[in-house]
Structure 1
Amino acid sequence: MPNIASILKAEISRVARKEVRTEIETLKKASTQYRSAIAALRRQVDSVEKELKRVSKGAGRTRSEPTPTQASEQAPARRFSATRLAAHRSKLGLSAAAYGSLIGVSGQTIYHWEQGKARPRAPQLQALAGVRAMGKREVQEHLSAA
């Protein structure tokens, strides 16, 4: 007949392993849920950071609103398009330097505007509007006179 103490010890070990196994299973499930929640939060943070970068880039380009007295003193607001500038310059058949001399800026500035690396200021926008109003003959006359 086996020793009752060894049988009791083996039974206690078996029951203890069973209890530990059930506890570990619940901990594994909780750990898996936490890891997936952390991954989802990281994805959300990444998307928010990307959105913040996009918005901050756009915010740097916005200008402050003029006061009503300034708005009435200034000319109407002009819009700028880099592709339109390049198309107009090629339509006139001018180099960037020649087009820049019409406006009062360098040829390098014209290239930067066309590539979207820079934007013209308000007085330069007015000069651009003036050049856009000119025809090809007027532009050639203006360049030959200068």
Structure 2
Amino acid sequence: MRRINLQEVAPEGFEHVRRLEGYIQRRLDKKLLFLVKLRASFINGCAYCVDMHSQHAIEAGESTRRLFAVATWREVDLFDERERAALALTDSVTRLGEGGVPDDVWDTAAKVYTEEELADLLLAIVTINMWNRIAIPSRNPLPA
């Protein structure tokens, strides 16, 4: 059962998060964005977001094979160099620990993305983690 509906209780704050989401959606390739959202949501255990983003990815033409493989992306060769760099950065930012993002992870991403693309990718990773951290404690129910 839902604990709180932030959209109703804190509409102004919620709208700021939505606007950031809108910016990200305009800036990043849709398939890459779905992979990032799905990977962070897997790590965070956000069932609501895994369900929503996997459905949206399928509707956008992403294969179910690649979507399932996001859980084990390091062991498969279904992702190109840019996608792998984005997934590695997603892992590091989502699991941000005491050491931060390792230099090798950042440097790999910086080699395949421009500085502007890297900034947008980082904002996308931060945004999905924010959505996960809204959905999980508020207990957003899955749609029927």
TM-score of the superposed pair, with normalisation by structure 2 = 0.21
Choose 1 or 2 for highest CA Rg: 1
The TM-score normalised by the length of structure 1 is: 0.21
Which protein, 1 or 2, shows the higher relative CO under an 8 Å CA cutoff with sep ≥ 6?
2
